[in-house]
Amino acid sequence: MSTVSGTRKLVAPLPAGGVGQSIRDSLVVAKRNLIRMTRIPEMILFGVIQPVMFVVLFTYVFGGSINIPGAPSGSAGAYKEFLMAGIFAQTVTFATAGAGAGIADDMHKGLIDRFRSLPMARGAVLTGRTLADLVQTAVTLAVLAVVALLVGWRTHENIGKVLAGFALLLLLGYAFTWIGALIGLSVRTPEAATSGGLIWLFPLTFISNAFVPVNGMPKFLQYVAEWNPFSATVAAARELFGNTIDGVPKSVTGAWPMEHPVWASLIWSVVIILVFRVLSVRKYRSATA
C-alpha cells in the first residue's frame, strides 16, 4: 500500500463576475454597515446634532445682520430661506469625513483584508459602505428639514421640485463619500481620515454661495465660488425649493453653473462619482494586495 503525499497551494477564491453579483455583494455590505450603525446610535445622534446647531446659530445669530440682495434690509425671514439650502448641502458633504474614518477603521482592524479573501466583487466593499453612508445622510437630512421648518424655513414650489432638490443634495453627498473613501484608503488611522476629510471641506463650503451672497466677495473669489461644485448644488436647491429672490441675477460673473444650476449640480456630482469611484477601487486593490 502506497501513500501519495503532496502539498496543496491555498489561494483566495476568485470573485464572481457580473453586474448582478456586484449589486448583490454591495447590498450585503451596505446591510452590514447599517446594522452596525443601529448598534451604535451615538453615530447618528452626533451626526444630527451638529447641523441642527448650525441652523440655530446661523438663523438667530446672523439672521438679522446679513443682507440678501433684493430683500428688505435686516430681513431674517429672507436669510432663513437663503441659508437652508447651504446648511443642507454642508450637512451632506460633511458625511465625507465619516465615510473616510469608517473605511480607515476597517482597514486598520484588518476587516478589509478579510473581505478581500471572499469571492465577492472588488468594488462591492466600497460601494456598500458609501450606500450605507447615503442612508444615514438621508436620515440626518430629513431631521434637519423638520428643524428648518420649525425655525421658519418654507418652500414655494410643488412637492415634485422640492423632492428633486433633496435628491440633488443626496447625490452630492453620495459623490463626496467617494472622496472620503479614497482618503480613508490613503491614510493609516481613522483620526487622520477624519482630519483629512474635513480640512479641505471648510474652504470648499465657505468660499461658496451657501452662507453669504457672492457679490460681497473679492472678484477672484467670486469666480472661485461660482464655479464651485458645492455652489452649484446650493443654487439648484434654492431654485427647486423656490427660495430665490425675484429680480436678483443668478450670477455676478456670468458663470455657466450659476445660470444653469440644476444641470451643473447633476453633472458635477456624476463626474465626481465616476472619477473617485475608479480611483478608490484602484487604491483598494493596491492597498490590500
User: Among residues 94, 101, 96, which one has the least CA distance to residue 144?
Assistant: 94
Name the pTM for this structure.
Answer: 0.85
Mean pLDDT across the stretch 192-215? 87
Is there a domain that residue 91 lies in? yes
pLDDT value, residue 6: 45
**Cα 166 to chain centroid, rounded:** 12
Across residues 222-249, what is the average pLDDT? Answer: 90
Cα–Cα distance between 148 and 169 in angstroms, integer?
15
CB 219 within 8 A of CB 262: no
pLDDT of residue 274: 95
Could you tell me if residue 212 is left (phi over 0), alpha (psi between -120 and 50 degrees) or otherwise beta? beta
Q: What pLDDT, on a 0 to 100 scale, did the predictor assign at position 3?
A: 47
Q: Is residue 30 part of a domain?
A: no
In a domain, 16, yes or no: no
In a domain, 157, yes or no: yes
Domain count, the chain: 1
Query: Which of 4-18, 112-126, 141-155, 253-267 has the weakest average pLDDT?
Result: 4-18
At 229-241, the pLDDT tens digits run 999 999 999 999 9
Determine the structural domain holding residue 122 and report its residue range. Answer: 39-287
DSSP per-residue letters across 12-55:
PPPPP-SHHHHHHHHHHHHHHHHHHHHH-HHHHHHHHHHHHHHH
pLDDT (mean) for 185-212: 86
Q: Is residue 243 part of a domain?
A: yes
* 165 burial via Cβ count (<10 Å: 0-12, 13-18, 19+): buried
Q: Is residue 23 part of a domain?
A: no
Highest mean pLDDT among 13-17, 104-108, 174-178: 174-178
How sure is the predictor about 119, in pLDDT bands with cuts at 50, 70 and 90? confident
**What pLDDT is stored for residue 215 in this prediction?**
85
Domain membership flag for residue 14: no
Q: Is 184 inside a domain boundary?
A: yes
Percent of the chain with pLDDT over 90: 35
